[in-house]
Amino acid sequence: MSLPEAIAFCALIVGFIVAAGIVLSAYESRMKHRSKELELQVRLAEAKGRQRSDAEIGRMEERLQVLERIATDRSPDLAREIDALRLADEREQVQ
């Protein structure tokens, strides 16, 4: 192997090493970005879950108040109110 060939070979090896470094750096950057993206998706899902559970708790409290009123009220409209609750529950389940 002559001197120019050896220099060309070394330059080729150095070029491969530099190219590999660039590719690995880009991959690492992509993985960091993907990790942050997934973290944000988890936070968004947690927030949606909290909102949904807060809404469900609110609906349950409303129903409990109505049921307490029905249980303590001795009016003749009791059957009508119970049917209205059943219909409301069926509508919530459909949604």
The rounded Cα 81 to chain-centroid distance in angstroms is 38
Residue 5 CA neighbour count, 13 Å, CB half: 2
Which structure tokens are listed for 91?
Answer: 């509508």
Q: Residue for token digits 């069926």?
A: 90
- pLDDT at site 65: 85
Cα–Cα distance between 43 and 72 in angstroms, integer? 43
18 band by pLDDT with thresholds 50, 70 and 90: very high
pTM: 0.47
Contact 92, 59 (CB under 8 A): yes
| pLDDT at residue 45 is higher than 70 | yes
